[in-house]
Amino acid sequence: MTMTITLSQHQELGLYRDGFVVLRKAIDDSMVRRARRKLYVSLGALSSRALSVARRADLDKSIASAKALGRDPDILNLFNETALKRILGSLLGASLEPIQRAQVATNFPQGENDIVNESGYPVKDTPHNGWCGHLDGLWNGASRVPAIDAVLSPYRRSRWYRDPSTNGCYRTYPGTNSNLQNFTALVGIALSDQLVEGAGNLGVLRGAHKKMGEFFQAQRKAGGPLGPDGPGWPRENKSAPNGHGLRHYPDAIRQAFSGQAVTTRDGQLWPKPTLLKMKAGDAVIIHYATPHAATKVIEPDPRFMIYFRITSSCRQENQLMVFPEALCDIWLEWPGMQATVAEQETKSS
């Protein structure tokens, strides 16, 4: 199937309103099969080596090999050689350079256990299938997430608070008045069917990108910095069960989406995400400012997604990782959306 190189008016409206849009049958079946086979080959090799490994160094090499899958041509071509690249170029108003790296996101069924998520709560006790929404580009702790009721020794505490964190992010970015990295759009491609809730679906907080933009504007007006540890956004939730829960989006956004939220016994509010039901080959474009996260796999089959993080090619060199203006003006880097934005904002004024 050949896709057009622009979104329809209806799709643009959905992206403006919701902060995301799903594109059905975005990727040809043959490309999906090739990419999925590469994934299975990599996972199979990793499993075999793990069972036969004699030295930790050998296992580390196997893990590194599996991570390198994100640079495989059959994975990168899901974006670089399809209409998705042209669609994003149209939305962002410039021709995009080929993507050099993808995130290969696997999510497997797990038994009941005491795994703690980055919000500081057990995954099994987190509502909405364990949805722990976040923005990308946030410091997430430089060591393993602290266990429930664990008292961190001085050594463990120093390791937890180091920079950078396990995802390569820093708590502060001096000279930017911002405490987070930001790109422009997240593109996700399903390599497995996720047609029912419980299939590890990607969850998105529909419409929250607008509230996030308003929140960043308020932080800037208050003097900043933007992001965690800035006005109205304490980074850690000391009341979380592990005492070091990370707020990956501010409590003001939780409150703004309290209508269908679940409140746990400790009083914590958990907004209800939209769980995307996608078939292998479907794609989703998500505005950077839309909180999102994967959910638990309750179904018997694993969930496979490929993610591409797209940064506008119009940014200056010193803005590639941190660009506060795009946080406060959420459509600044989307010239292809300006007509829809102007029309909708005129209607609402």
Least confident among 3-17, 216-230, 248-262, 291-305 = 3-17
In a domain, 157, yes or no: no
In a domain, 199, yes or no: yes
In a domain, 197, yes or no: yes
Predicted TM-score (pTM) of this structure: 0.94
pLDDT (0 to 100) of residue 153: 93
For residue range 53-112, list pLDDT tens digits in order.
555 555 555 556 666 899 999 999 999 999 999 999 999 998 888 999 999 999 999 887
In a domain, 30, yes or no: no
Task: Select from 226, 148, 231 the least CA-distant residue to 180.
Answer: 226
Taking the C-alpha atoms of residue 283 and residue 288, their distance in angstroms, rounded to an integer, is 16
Amino acid in position 184: T
Q: What is the DSSP string of 50-68?
A: HHH--SHHHHHHHHHHHHG
In a domain, 165, yes or no: no
pLDDT (0 to 100) of residue 54: 53
Give the domain extent around 303: 14-25+99-137+175-348
Considering the chain, what percentage of its residues have pLDDT values greater than 70? 93
Task: Select from 244, 251, 18, 277 the least CA-distant residue to 120.
Answer: 244
pLDDT (0 to 100) of residue 61: 58
176: left (phi over 0), alpha (psi -120 to 50) or beta: alpha
In a domain, 149, yes or no: no
> Which DSSP symbol is given to 344?
H
Torsion over CA: 6, 7, 9, 12 (sign): negative
149 falls in which pLDDT band (50, 70, 90)? confident
According to DSSP, the residues that pair with 306 across neighbouring strands are 104, 189
For residue range 167-189, list pLDDT tens digits in order.
999 999 999 999 999 999 999 99
Taking the C-alpha atoms of residue 153 and residue 130, their distance in angstroms, rounded to an integer, is 28
Domain count, the chain: 1
**pLDDT of residue 113 exceeding 50:** yes
Q: What is the CA radius of gyration of the chain?
A: 20
Average pLDDT over residues 272-290: 98
Considering the chain, what percentage of its residues have pLDDT values greater than 90? 85
- Whether the CB-CB separation of 188 and 174 falls below 8 Å is answered with no
Least confident among 15-19, 45-49, 213-217, 301-305 = 45-49
List helix spans (H) across the chain.
Answer: 9-18, 29-52, 56-67, 73-80, 83-92, 127-130, 154-160, 208-221, 251-256, 324-328, 338-348
pLDDT (0 to 100) of residue 349: 72
Amino acid in position 267: G
**pLDDT of residue 337 exceeding 70:** yes
> Tokens representing 309?
């993080």
In a domain, 20, yes or no: yes
190 falls in which pLDDT band (50, 70, 90)? very high
Taking the C-alpha atoms of residue 327 and residue 217, their distance in angstroms, rounded to an integer, is 8
In a domain, 270, yes or no: yes
Task: Select from 6, 7, 33, 348 the least CA-distant residue to 192.
Answer: 33
pLDDT (0 to 100) of residue 1: 45
